[in-house]
């Protein structure tokens, strides 16, 4: 049966209505199977569904070899990130970010300023849904862009993969050295019972859209460690997408830039990250993209064998005939 399905998809009309129906059916079956077996697999099921919908059958082997490291990178990052709140530093440095930000903005956190002006807990507005949707799109858009780059611009995909490895590695280092609470998880902002707190707008939106579905989905794709807030990986990854998108064409680059800016604003307004978390995320995105060539040169230099000639001391036997002195007859 599977052989017949693959044969159908390999035909020229694989992208017609019939081909898309077959691909869509397989994608739905993957997600339903993940839900029926283990909900923790749903995130991977969504990624696999995108692959089924977008990847030509003739390139499945290439896709698996290319995205095996991609999937392994995210799996290792998520597993390591979940351990960063197990160190003694979490009890001493988890409020460093809000304390620093209060000093930076003279006592008022940007999240509180934005929510005081725009957020009404009893009446959600269209921009509450827009910002929440932008936050949730992080679990889809970067993977879709990665698949697109692999399909159309493989050289940009490989650089994106290398940049993500550097970016996520740097993020893990900071998570362990500076574990931080997100704004919605911090205590009273000015250590006062009447002090303003940061609302988690995303929870309210999720309840309005369907509380049960939101809670179930968040258990699957929610953060593996809420105290790993500095830097913002949401901001880092969306900023990173701007670099390869710009090299594809200017319009695509501008779209990704607008998306990254909206993501940064949404993270602060929703109470998910501090301003400095967002700036740090953008900074490690620059580090990842521009650091890849240097790392590759170092790796190439380390693998390159030494071809230097071996200098030997000159002896009498090693001298040329021209250099030798011929004794003259007396």
pLDDT surpasses 50 at 330: no
Whether residue 318 lies inside any domain: the answer is: no
Is residue 44 included in any domain, yes or no?
Answer: yes
**Confidence (pLDDT) at 46:** 65
Q: Are residues 43 and 125 in the same domain?
A: no
The answer to whether residues 115 and 12 belong to one domain is no
Per-chain mean pLDDT for the chain: 76
Tokens at residue 257, please? Answer: 């830039």
The pLDDT value recorded for residue 313 is: 55
pLDDT at 144: 87
Q: What's residue 5's pLDDT?
A: 44
Least confident span in 7-21, 137-151, 237-251:
7-21
Do the domain assignments include residue 25?
Answer: yes
Based on the fold, state whether residues 46 and 142 are members of the same structural domain: no
Residue 222 and residue 119 share a domain:
yes
User: 34 and 71: one domain?
Assistant: no
Residue 323, domain member (yes or no): no
Position 44 scores a pLDDT of 58
pLDDT, tens digit, for every residue of 161-195? Answer: 999 999 999 998 888 888 787 888 765 444 444 45
Task: Write out pLDDT tens, residues 119-164.
Answer: 888 888 999 999 999 998 888 899 889 989 988 899 999 999 999 9
Statement to judge: residues 124 and 13 lie in one domain: no
Structural domain ending residue among the three candidates 11, 37, 54? 54
Specify if 313 maps to a domain: no
Q: What is the mean pLDDT of residues 5-9?
A: 46
Same domain, 74 and 137: yes
The pLDDT confidence band at residue 2, using thresholds 50, 70 and 90, is very low
208 shares a domain with 262: yes
Q: What is the pLDDT of residue 127?
A: 92
pLDDT-based confidence at residue 113 (cuts at 50, 70, 90):
confident
Instruction: Name the residue with higher pLDDT: 106 or 90.
Output: 106
Give the dihedral sign, CA 161/162/163/164. positive
Number of folded domains that form the chain: 2
90 and 21 both lie in a single domain: no
CB contact set of 97 (below 8 Å; sequence gap of 6+) = 178, 180, 181, 229, 230, 274, 276, 277
Distance of CA 94 to the CA centre of its chain: 23
Whether residues 218 and 83 fall in one domain: yes
For residues 134 and 310, the answer to whether their CB atoms sit within 8 Å is: no
As a whole number, mean pLDDT of residues 234-249 equals: 95
Eight-state DSSP code of residue 316: T
Residue 10: the pLDDT is: 47
**77, part of any domain:** yes
The answer to whether position 90 is within a domain reads yes
Q: Where in the sequence is the domain holding 4, given as residue range(s)? A: 1-54
Same domain, 235 and 197: yes
Averaged pLDDT for residues 26-47: 61
pLDDT digits (tens, 9 = 90+) for 63-99: 667 777 888 888 888 788 877 777 766 666 666 777 7
Question: Do 163 and 292 meet the contact criterion of CB atoms below 8 Å apart?
Answer: yes
Residue 60, pLDDT score: 63
* Highest-pLDDT range among 171-175, 293-297, 308-312: 171-175
For the stretch 251-279, pLDDT in tens is 999 999 999 999 999 999 998 898 999 99
Concatenated DSSP letters of 25-62: HHHHHHHHHHHHH-GGGHHHHHHHHHHHHHS-GGGHHH
Would you give the end-to-end CA distance of the chain in angstroms?
102
Domain match, 81 and 1 both: no
What's the confidence (pLDDT) of residue 236? 95
Q: Look at residue 10 and tell me if it is in a domain.
A: yes
**pLDDT value at 309 more than 80:** no
């Amino acid at each position: 049966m599977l052989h017949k399905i693959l044969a159908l998809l390999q035909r020229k009309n694989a992208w017609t209505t019939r081909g898309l129906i077959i691909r869509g059916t397989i994608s739905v079956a993957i997600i339903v199977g993940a839900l029926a077996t283990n909900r923790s697999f749903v995130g991977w099921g969504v990624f696999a569904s995108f692959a089924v919908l977008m990847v030509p059958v003739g390139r499945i082997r290439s896709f698996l070899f290319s995205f095996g490291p991609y999937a392994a990178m995210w799996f290792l990052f998520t597993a390591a990130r979940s351990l960063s709140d197990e160190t003694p530093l979490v009890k001493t440095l988890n409020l460093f970010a809000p304390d620093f930000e209060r000093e930076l903005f003279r006592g008022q956190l940007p999240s509180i300023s934005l929510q005081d002006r725009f957020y009404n807990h009893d009446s959600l507005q269209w921009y509450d849904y827009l910002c929440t949707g932008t936050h949730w799109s992080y679990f889809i858009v970067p993977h879709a862009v990665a698949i697109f780059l692999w399909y159309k611009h493989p050289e940009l995909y490989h650089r994106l993969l290398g940049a993500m490895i550097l970016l996520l590695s740097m993020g893990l280092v900071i998570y362990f050295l500076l574990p931080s609470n997100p704004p919605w998880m911090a205590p009273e902002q000015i250590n006062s019972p009447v002090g303003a707190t940061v609302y988690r707008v995303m929870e309210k939106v999720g309840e309005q859209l369907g509380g049960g579905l939101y809670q179930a989905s968040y258990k699957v794709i929610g953060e593996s460690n809420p105290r790993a807030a500095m830097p913002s990986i949401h901001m880092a990854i969306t900023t990173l997408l701007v670099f390869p998108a710009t090299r594809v064409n200017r319009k695509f680059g501008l779209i990704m830039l607008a998306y990254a800016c909206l993501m940064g604003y949404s993270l602060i307004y929703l109470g998910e990250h501090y301003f400095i978390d967002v700036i740090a995320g953008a900074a490690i995105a620059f580090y990842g993209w521009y650091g890849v060539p240097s790392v590759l040169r170092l790796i190439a230099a380390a693998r390159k064998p030494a071809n230097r000639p071996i200098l030997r001391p000159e002896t009498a036997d090693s001298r040329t005939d021209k250099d030798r002195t011929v004794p003259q007859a007396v």
